[in-house]
C-alpha cells in the first residue's frame, strides 16, 4: 500500500487521478428504494418505516420475516432494485463533470454477496449506469475495496470506511444515518463531494496533505 497515494498501484501507470466510487447509498438512492420495497415486502405503509436507519435496517423489524439477506434477494431478483433505483441528487451530473476534468472514475461495489443472484446484479448495475449516463473507466465488484486501489474513495458503509482508512486510504464519508459517528472529511451532498475530490487531486498534484493528512 502506497500511503502517499492511498492506492496499491493498480491503474497508476496511466498517470490518472483515480476516484474510487461506491454505488449504494452514494451514487444510487439505495435506502430510499429499499424502503419502498421493504414496505411492500412487509405489508406495511411506507410511512411507517423510519428513515433513521442503521446498517442492516433492523429498525424496520425485518428480522422476523427472514432478515436483511432475504429482503435484499427479493429486492434484486423480484423488483430489479439495481436497475430501477433513482440516483442521489446531482450524482450523475457531477460524476460527468469530474470525468470531463480528467479524473478516472473507478466504480467499486460489493453487490455479489447474495448467492444465485450474481447475473441479475451485474446486468442491472451495467444497465443502470448506462441509463443515467454515469461515466466510469472501471467497474469492480469487490468486497475488499483496497484490493483495486484509488487515490481517494467515497463510501457510506461504516465498516468499509473504517477498513479503507485503516489501510491508509483517503476516504470521504458520504453522510447518512448509518455513519454519523465517523469523523470527516465527509460530504452531505454531491456538491461537497466534488469540492473534496478536487481538493484531494490538488494535494496529489502538489504533494501536500493538508486536508486528509495521510
- 24 part of the active site: yes
Q: What pLDDT, in 10s, does the model give residues 145-159?
A: 988 889 999 999 999
Q: Residue 57 — left, alpha, or beta (φ > 0 → left; ψ -120 to 50 → alpha)?
A: left
Cβ-proximal residues to 192 (8 Å cutoff; 6+ apart), any chain: 186
Q: Residue 73's pLDDT is what?
A: 92
Cut 0.75: pTM above it: yes
Q: What pLDDT, in 10s, does the model give residues 75-102?
A: 999 999 999 999 999 999 999 999 999 9
Residues 66 and 161: their CA atoms lie apart, in Å, by 27
| Length of the chain, in residues | 214
CA 75 to chain centre: 18
Question: Which strands, in side-by-side order, build the sheet including 103-109?
Answer: 138-141, 103-109, 17-21, 152-155, 171-174, 186-187
Q: Which of the residues 24, 90, 155, 188 is marked catalytic?
A: 24
Q: Residue 209's pLDDT is what?
A: 64
Per-residue pLDDT band for 2 (boundaries 50, 70, 90) equals: very low
Residues 134 and 129: their CA atoms lie apart, in Å, by 5
Q: What is the mean pLDDT of residues 60-75?
A: 94
Cβ 112 vs Cβ 73: under 8 Å: no
Q: Residue 74's pLDDT is what?
A: 95
pLDDT above 60 for 122:
yes
Residues 117 and 140: their CA atoms lie apart, in Å, by 17
pLDDT above 50 for 211:
yes
- Give the C-alpha distances (Å, rounded to integers) separating 91 from 69, 99, 141, 213: 27, 12, 20, 26
Q: Which of the residues 2, 16, 22, 144 is marked catalytic?
A: 22
- 22 part of the active site: yes
Amino acid at each position: 500500500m502506497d500511503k502517499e497515494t492511498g492506492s496499491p498501484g493498480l491503474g497508476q501507470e496511466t498517470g490518472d487521478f483515480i476516484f474510487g466510487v461506491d454505488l449504494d447509498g452514494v451514487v444510487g438512492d439505495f435506502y430510499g428504494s429499499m424502503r419502498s420495497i421493504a414496505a411492500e415486502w412487509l405489508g406495511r405503509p411506507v410511512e411507517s418505516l423510519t428513515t433513521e436507519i442503521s446498517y442492516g435496517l433492523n429498525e424496520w423489524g425485518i428480522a422476523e420475516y427472514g432478515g436483511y439477506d432475504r429482503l435484499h434477494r427479493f429486492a434484486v431478483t423480484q423488483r430489479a432494485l439495481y436497475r430501477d433505483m433513482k440516483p442521489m441528487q446531482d450524482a450523475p451530473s457531477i460524476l460527468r463533470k469530474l470525468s470531463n476534468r480528467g479524473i478516472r472514475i473507478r466504480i467499486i461495489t460489493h453487490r455479489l454477496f447474495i448467492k444465485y443472484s450474481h447475473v441479475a446484479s451485474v446486468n442491472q448495475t451495467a444497465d443502470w449506469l448506462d441509463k443515467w449516463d454515469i461515466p466510469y473507466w472501471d467497474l469492480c465488484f469487490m468486497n475488499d475495496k483496497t484490493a483495486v486501489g484509488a487515490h481517494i474513495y467515497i463510501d457510506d458503509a461504516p465498516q468499509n470506511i473504517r477498513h479503507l482508512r485503516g489501510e491508509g486510504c483517503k476516504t470521504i464519508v458520504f453522510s447518512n444515518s448509518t455513519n454519523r459517528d465517523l469523523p470527516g472529511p465527509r460530504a452531505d451532498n454531491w456538491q461537497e463531494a466534488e469540492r473534496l475530490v478536487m481538493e484531494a487531486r490538488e494535494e496529489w498534484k502538489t504533494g501536500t496533505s493538508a486536508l486528509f493528512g495521510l
